[in-house]
Structure 1
Amino acid sequence: MNLDLFAALLMGLAGAGHCLMMCGGLAGALPGGQGQRPALLMLISYNLGRISSYMLAGALVGAISQAALGGVTPALLALRFLAAFFLIALGCYLGGWWLGLQRLEQLGRPLWRHLAPLAARLRQHHSISARYIAGMVWGWLPCGLVYSALSWAALSASATSGAIYMLFFGLGTLPAMLAFGWFSGALQSILKGRGFRQAMGVLMIIYGLWVAVIALRQVLAIN
């Protein structure tokens, strides 16, 4: 697995507590949700829809990056520094030390105001297709974690690669989201707890610094 795919997967895994707070509520609120022991197929359908939206966003961002940068190496290195910054910002966001990513979330709120009523209506349906569409809609919820992952999709400078990176990010979020219906209250408290989120935040910051150092070495090698 290359560095960028690992980063996307790690972001998804590290954001387990954040995912439970942002998206777990919808999974539990859907008919047949947490209190009724949902069928695994229903949860999978919801999460496949959510990941599909991530992949679509990744493809769009990757295509835009490809058109704008045209594979220019200095521009791609600058984008790698930006991706490293987002990793560090995400770490601070997860740890609660700096919430600058919330400003990015505000950019997506106008779109979400139009999608939220649809998400609410889909909660009333029991079909697998409705669960999949509900997941797709919820995938556009303004989220600093997702926006950080999209920085890596942009770094790919390719629609296909951008979609793949967001697929890996989505896979990283699956352990928390698929098990939501079966998690004990104690385990949910741990994943949502400040200590766990701060530990994951530190991990993201360290990884972001490492990515920045690698990018700096590439710059020095070119010069």
Structure 2
Amino acid sequence: MDGLNLLPAFAVGMAGSVHCIGMCGGIVGALSGALGGTGARRTIPIAPASSAGSATSATSATAALDGAVRVLAYNAGRIASYMVAGALAGGLANGAGTLVLAARWQGVAYLLANTMLVALGLYLMNAWHGLARVEAAGNVLWRRLLPALRYLLPADTLPKSFALGALWGWVPCGMVYSMLLTALLAGSAAGGAAVMLAFGAGTLPMLLALGVAGARLRQAMQHPAVRAACGMLVLGFGVLGLVRYGTGVPHGWLDALCLGVPA
């Protein structure tokens, strides 16, 4: 799997990050301090007016920088969990690839991955919420991890922020599930980890911006028009993949726009 094949995973991560805002926005805001106190956005003054103001500005700048670093640590932990899950999925596929029916299961995985993208696109557009039931099925695992949160809150240090992100990376999420199906198609642990790294990197800009803009960005990105546009992009990737599989379109430039390679 080359870098070109990872572009769709990155794009899905960017478009789907409007969903991440709902799931991770509160934690990111709390880590950055954007939701603390009155919930106002923190700013870093460029030119203080007095010595007292200078001390206040320095304190504010330090707090803002500390919050930004903790947000980075949280996201590093979250993406690390995605990569571990992707490596497990890709490694499982690598083992299954030695079976006689390898071509058949690869085709099934490809169909499922792109069907999940269609479902995710409709979910983001608020057109169909069946994916929420898929997420609910993962709550069995999450309930077992939840008690560990009490040891990580408040996440006031870098190790705790990283650990919180690593734990949060296992929160039931239909978007992550769809990408894990794509990681299955990578055919190796390294390839599966690369898919999830590209996906996680796609979600990163939005969550980092959320740490700065706080509730304002969250409100803007939850606007129906924004969700509809992002949903249509994800839906388009899924439909393109299904059409490619059903019509047997030959490989080539289309590989750059499809998640995985059908058998």
| TM-score computed with the length of structure 2 as normaliser | 0.76
Deviations 1:33-57 (A, max 9, x none): 3245353221111100000000011
Q: Is the 1:87–1:207 Cα contact (8 Å) retained in structure 2?
A: yes
1:45/1:111 CA distance change after superposition, 3 Å: same
Aligned: 1:48 with 2:76: yes
1:27/1:220 CA distance change after superposition, 3 Å: closer
Aligned: 1:173 with 2:234: no
Alignment correspondent of 2:160: 130
In 2, Cα distance between the equivalents of 1:206 and 1:39? 36
Aligned: 1:13 with 2:14: yes
Query: Structure 1 or 2: larger helix share?
Result: 1
Q: Is the 1:49–1:133 Cα contact (8 Å) retained in structure 2?
A: yes
Give the Å deviation of 1:15. 1.4
Alignment correspondent of 2:258: none
Alignment correspondent of 1:70: 98
Paired amino acid for 1:100:
G
Of 63-72 and 176-185, more deviation after overlay is shown by 63-72
In 2, Cα distance between the equivalents of 1:2 and 1:84? 18
Q: Is the 2:121–2:234 Cα contact (8 Å) retained in structure 1?
A: yes
Tell me the SS of whatever aligns to 1:39.
helix
Aligned: 1:59 with 2:61: no
Give the Å deviation of 1:143. 0.7
Paired amino acid for 1:27:
V
Give the Å deviation of 1:16. 2.0
Alignment correspondent of 2:129: 99
After superposition, residues 104-115 of structure 1 pair within 5 angstroms as 104-115=134-145
Tell me the SS of whatever aligns to 1:142.
coil
After superposition, residues 198-209 of structure 1 pair within 5 angstroms as 198-209=228-239
Q: Which has the larger radius of gyration?
A: 2
1:85/1:98 CA distance change after superposition, 3 Å: same
Alignment correspondent of 1:162: 192
In 2, Cα distance between the equivalents of 1:10 and 1:76? 23
Tell me the SS of whatever aligns to 2:129.
coil
Alignment correspondent of 2:219: 189
Aligned: 1:28 with 2:56: no
State the aligned residue count. 220
Paired amino acid for 1:55:
M
Q: Which runs of 5+ in 1 are unaligned?
A: none
In 2, Cα distance between the equivalents of 1:106 and 1:160? 29
Tell me the SS of whatever aligns to 2:138.
helix
In 2, Cα distance between the equivalents of 1:176 and 1:154? 26
Between the aligned residues of both structures, percent identity stands at 39
| TM-score computed with the length of structure 1 as normaliser | 0.89
Deviations 1:55-74 (A, max 9, x none): 01111111122222338334
1:6/1:26 CA distance change after superposition, 3 Å: same
Paired amino acid for 1:12:
G
Q: Which runs of 5+ in 2 are unaligned?
A: 37-63, 252-261
Across the aligned residues of Structure 1 and Structure 2, the Cα RMSD in angstroms comes to: 2.2
